[in-house]
Chains A and B, each alone.
Chain A
C-alpha cells in the first residue's frame, strides 16, 4: 500500500474551517434546534438504586399548566431493544420496560409540556411510590455478580505463572482508579420530530449511523425512515457513542404528543444518563531479572458495570503489546452493580497504563536503573504478541526527543533531592503504547462545474477538527484550494461512517477520501476516454495527478485541463465518486500500530499541606503523519488536561448507601481550571504509518494516556510516597 506523499496542505496548521461559525455562535448544535410547535420534555429519575415502582401518581403533573403528556412504564408502548454494536456490544437497555429500578437516576418518566419551565415544574409533581431493596454497590462487594473474560480479549503468551515463580525480582501491587464522568461542555440534547412514520432526530451523538440503526430498531421502522443530524457537537469524550435511553424517550414523546419535542439533559443528569468511566481496580504482578528485563506480566483488571448493561472496558488491553516480555497473562473482570451504565470515556486503557507505568517506575528504584533506561531495555521492537513488525513505531524517538526537551538528565535520582524554595520537586515519566483502529468508512466526493468539491459522509466533528482535516485532505488529493472544498458531515443519510471514537475517525475518513479522490479522477478520465479534444484522452489513473483545479500528466504538468473545462464541455453538472476503507489486518504482514508517546512531568509538592501542583508536562507523540499540526497539538493539550483531571481531581462518587451520585455538579465534581494547567509542551515525532492509507494514526485519546503515571512517578520522586490510587488528593499526601 502506498502512502500519500504529496505535502502541500497536509500537516499545515490550518485554522479550523468551522472556527468563525463557532466563535460567532452560529454553529447549530443539537440543543439550538427548534421547530414551530416544538414542546419540551423533562425527565423524572429514580430516587432509589434498586427495587420496584409500586405505583406512580401522575395526576397532579398531568393537570399542571401546559402539560401534554406524562409517559411512564404504565402507559408507554413496548419498545424493542437496540441492536448489537460493533466495538461496543449490546445497546443500553431500552427505557420504561417495566417497573424495576436498576440504578439511582434511572429514567422512570418523561414529562412533556409547552414550555421548559412548565415541564420542569410538572416533573416535580410526579409522585412515585417505590418498593426499595438493598442496592448492590461497591466494586469490592462480595454479593456482586462477576463476569470473567467478558469479551474474550484476555492475552496469554508463554507461562506467566511459572515465570513469576522463578523470577529474580517480583513485583505485586494493586491499583485503584475512581470512576470519572465524561462531561462534555455541551449538555446532551435530543430534538425529535415525526413526519408520519418518518423520524428526524437532532441528536448529541458521535455516531449518526449507529444512532439511526438504534432508533430504527427500537421503534421498528425502516432505517430509511430515520434521519439523525448532528452537524456540530459540543464535545463527547465517548459519552456520545451510544444512543442512550433519554434520546429514545424523546423520540417516543414526540410520537405520542405528535409534536416536535426537545430534551436537554441537565448537568446532574449528564452524570447518570450518558455513561461514565468505570471505577477500576487492578492487581499487577511483574517478574524481572536483576538486569531489568521483564520476564513475566500478570495483570488483572476489574471494572464496574451496570446491572443489566454491557460495556467493553479495556483496562489491560495494551499490557501485552507494551513491552517485549515473553510471558504475559491478562485478565478482565467486570462487577455488576446498581449504578448507571459505565461507557467509554476518552482513552480507555489509560487505567492499565497507570498501573504498568507506575510499576516500572517502582521497579526502576528497586533495581537502581533509570526509569527511562528500564523502558528501553524492554523495548518491543516487534509486536510482542504476533511477532510481526509494527506498521510504524517511533516510541524510542519519543523517549529521546521527550527526554531532551524535558531535561530528563537534570533529574537527580535520590528521592526528595530536588527542591525549589519550600516546594519539593519531582520528575516522572511514562511510556505509552496505545491501540488505534481504522474502521470501515465510506464517503462520496463530487466536483461541480465551477471546480468546487463536495465531500459527504455520516462522520461527525465533535470538536476535534474533522471538518478541517477532511477539507485539507480533499483539497490536497484533488488539487484544489481549501476554499473550494465543502465538507458535509453529521447526517446519517450520508455515506456510513464510524464514530468519532476509538481514535479512529480522521484516519478512517481520510482513507476513504483518498480512495474517493482516486475514483473521482478515474471518473473524469472515463469521461475523457473517447474525447479526442482532451489532452488526457486515453490516460490511466497512474498517469495523472491533480493540482490547481486541473488534472495533468505526472510527467508533464503542462498537459492537462481543468475540472471545469471537462464538465462544461461534456455538459455535466458534476461528477461524483464513492470511496471506502475497509482495513484488514490479516495477511497484511504487519501489526497495525496505534500511536505511541512518552510523557514527562515535573511536579511541585508542599509536603506539609499535601499540595500537589504540576509544573510542566512534555509529551512526545508518534501519531504517524500529522494531518494538521495545530489541531493535533490542541488534541494532545486537551487530552493532557483531562489526564491531569483524572490524576488529581476527577472522581464520580457514589453514595455508599443510596447509590446516588454525591457530586453530580460542576461545583462538586472537580475538573482542572486554568490554574491547574501548566506549560504543556507537545512534540510530534515519527514517520507516516504503513498500514494507514494516509499515513496517520489516531491521536484523539493518546494524550490522556500516561499522564497519571508520569505525575504519580514524579510525586514519588519528590516525596517517596507511592500513590497507587487516583485521584491523588491532599489527604493521600499528608
Chain B
C-alpha cells in the first residue's frame, strides 16, 4: 500500500471542502469497500482518507410519507427500524439478505449506494484490461470468467455488476439521494443517480469529486401494498445475488393497481424495470402477466458464456417474487 494521510473532521462542510480540493482524497465511512480496495487489493491509491464517521449524518426520521435516512446509518440500524419493518418490508428483507451481521454493523447506507463492483478483474491491479480502472484499456471480464456479472446495461466495454441488495428496493421506491458539495446541496432520484457504463465505465454516478451523500429519502409504500425481495444464489447465505428482484404490488380485486419492480444481480446499475411495471399496472395478477412482465424486463440482455443462464434465471426470479407478493400459486 502507499502511505496516505488520515483525517477525521467533525463537520460536513469541512469534510466536503477537504475532499473537493484534493483529487487524491476519498471519504471513509464503514470502510467495508474502501479498505479492500486500498489495503488488500491495491487498486485504489489515496493521498488522503477523510473519515466521516463523526459527521452528524447518522439516524432515521419519519415524515408523513417518507423515511429520511442519514447516510451514515448502518445497514443493521436501518433493518431494525420499525417503520421499515412496517411500511418497507422488502427493504428490510434486502438488507438482511446482504453481507453478514458483522459487515452490516459497519457498512453504511451511503456507502452501500456507492459500493464498487466485485468484478475480480477490476479488483486485481495485475489485470491490465479494465476500462473501469484504466479507461480505454479494455475489459478482461468479457472474455474471462464471468458469472457474477451484469447482463443488463452491460456491453463489451464493461460487464461489471452493481452488487447491492439494498439499492434494488430503493430504486423501485423512487428513493432520492441528497447530496452536498462545495457549491451547495442538491437532490437526485436514485434511478437517475447511476450512470450506465457506456464508453466510460469509470464514471459510475453523477457525483462530482468531493460531493457527499448526506441523506437518502425513501418514500413509504401505501399501507395496503405488499412487497418482497427474492435473492437467488448458490450459497445459502453471505453471497452476492446471481439474480434478485424487489417487488411491491397494490392489488385491488385481482387487478394490479400499482406495481414497483427492480432487479439486482443482473445490472451494471440497480435496475428499475419500468416497462415491466407498465405491463403489470392494470393487468390481472396471474402467472401469464408475471411471465410477460419478466420477458419485458429482460429484453435485450448482453450476455457472455458465463452469464447466459442468468437471463432465464432472472425471469423466473421475477415471476416467483410476483407470485409470492401477490399470493398467486405457480
* A, B from the same assembly: yes
Judge whether B309 is part of the interface by a CB distance below 8 angstroms.
Answer: yes
Q: Does B55 contact A (CB under 8 A)?
A: no
Within 8 A of A (CB), among B144-161: 144-145, 148
Within 8 A of B (CB), among A643-676: 648-649, 653, 655-658, 660, 662-663, 665, 667-668, 670, 672-676
Bound-state Cα–Cα, A305 to B151, Å: 35
A-B contact pairs, 9 of them (CB 8 A): A120-B1, A266-B40, A608-B319, A609-B320, A610-B232, A649-B235, A660-B124, A672-B235, A734-B313
Q: Does A519 contact B (CB under 8 A)?
A: no
What residues on B are CB-neighbors of A657 within 8 Å? Answer: 140, 143-144
**Beyond A734-B312, A734-B313, is A676–B232 a contact (Cβ under 8 Å)?**
no
Q: Binding site of B, secondary structure by majority: helix, strand, loop or mixed?
A: loop
A-contacting residues of B (Cβ < 8 Å)? 1-3, 40, 42, 118, 120-121, 124, 126-127, 140, 143-145, 148, 232-239, 242, 309, 312-313, 316-317, 319-320, 330
**Given the interface contacts A609-B313, A609-B317, does A422 sit within 8 Å of B127 by beta carbon?**
no
Chain A interface (Cβ within 8 Å of chain B)? 47, 117, 120-121, 124, 266, 422, 608-611, 613, 648-649, 653, 655-658, 660, 662-663, 665, 667-668, 670, 672-676, 727, 729-731, 734
A663 touches B1 (CB 8 A): no
- Chain B residue contacts of A653, Cβ below 8 A: 145
A663 touches B120 (CB 8 A): yes
Please tell me if the beta carbons of A675 and B144 are within 8 angstroms of each other in the complex. Answer: no
Instruction: Say whether, besides A608-B330, A675-B237, A730-B242, A47 and B145 are in contact (CB < 8 Å).
Output: no
> Are A656 and B1 neighbours in the complex by a CB distance under 8 Å?
no
Residues of B within 8 A of A422 (CB): 330
Min Cβ gap B138→A in Å is 12
With known contacts A609-B320, A660-B124, A670–B235 Cβ distance under 8 A = yes
- Taking a contact as CB atoms under 8 Å apart, the answer to whether B144 and A676 are in contact is no
Q: Are B309 and A734 in contact (CB under 8 A)?
A: yes
Contacts of B317 in A (CB 8 A): 609
Q: Tell me what chain A mostly uses at the interface: helix, strand, loop, or mixed.
A: loop
Structural contact, A608 and B320, CB atoms closer than 8 A: yes
Tell whether A676 pairs with B145 under 8 Å between CB atoms, given A47-B126, A117-B1, A734-B309.
no
Beyond A609-B313, A610-B313, A613-B236, is A656–B144 a contact (Cβ under 8 Å)?
Answer: yes
Q: Is the CB of A656 within 8 A of B145?
A: yes
| In-complex Cβ contact of A667 among B118, B126, B242 (8 A) | B118
Residues of B within 8 A of A665 (CB): 120
Whole-angstrom distance between the Cβ of B150 and the nearest chain A Cβ:
16
Q: Are A608 and B316 in contact (CB under 8 A)?
A: yes
> With contacts A422-B330, A608-B330, A734-B309 known, is A670 near B239, CB below 8 A?
yes
Contacts A609-B313, A609-B320 given: A730-B232 contact, CB under 8 Å? yes
User: Which of the residues A649, A672, A675, A730 comes within 8 Å of B313, measured between beta carbons?
Assistant: A730
In contact, A121 and B1 (Cβ under 8 angstroms): yes
- The reply to whether B120 and A121 contact each other, CB–CB distance below 8 Å, is no
Q: Is the CB of B234 within 8 A of A121?
A: no
Instruction: State A41–B72 Cα separation when bound (angstroms).
Output: 38
Given contacts A657-B144, A663-B145, A730-B313, contact A670 B234 (CB under 8 A): yes
Nearest to A105 among chain B residues (CB) is: B126
Complex formed: what's the CA distance from A143 to B222 in Å? Answer: 64
| Known A656-B145, A730-B233, A734-B316; 9 more pairs at CB < 8 Å | A608-B330, A609-B313, A653-B145, A655-B144, A656-B143, A656-B144, A660-B124, A675-B236, A730-B232
Bound-state Cα–Cα, A506 to B238, Å = 35
Nearest Cβ in chain B — how far from A703, in angstroms? 21
CB-CB nearest in chain B for A728:
B234
Is the CB–CB distance between B309 and A662 below 8 Å? Answer: no
CB <8 Å contact, A674 and B330: no
B168–chain A nearest beta-carbon distance, Å: 17
Chain B contacts of A676 at CB under 8 A?
235-237
> In the complex, what residues of A have CB within 8 A of residue B234's CB?
648-649, 670, 727, 729-730
Q: In the complex, A450→B309 CA distance in Å?
A: 70
A673-B237, A731-B309 known; A662 vs B232 contact (CB < 8 Å): no
A662 near B320 with CB under 8 A, answer no
In the assembly, what is the distance between CA of A422 and CA of B324, in Å?
12
Q: Given that A673-B237, A731-B309 are known contacts, is A662 also in contact with B1, CB under 8 Å in the complex?
A: no
Q: How far is the CA of A609 from the CA of B120 in the complex (A)?
A: 26
Q: CA separation between A655 and B130, bound complex, in Å?
A: 15
Alpha-carbon distance between A649 and B237 when the two chains are bound, in angstroms? 12
Residues of B within 8 A of A662 (CB): 120-121, 144-145
Q: CB < 8 Å: which of B145, B235, B242 contacts A673?
A: B235
C-alpha gap A365/B179 in the complex (Å) = 64
- Chain B residues whose C-beta falls within 8 Å of the C-beta of A675 in the assembled complex: 235-238
Inter-subunit contact B144/A124 (CB<8 Å): no
C-alpha spacing A532/B329, complex, angstroms: 92
Partner of A611, one of B118, B232, B239: B232
- Complex Cα distance A673/B235, Å? 8
**CA separation between A665 and B312, bound complex, in Å?**
28
CB atoms of A668 and B330 under 8 A apart: no
Q: How far is the CB of A512 from chain B (nearest CB, A)?
A: 42
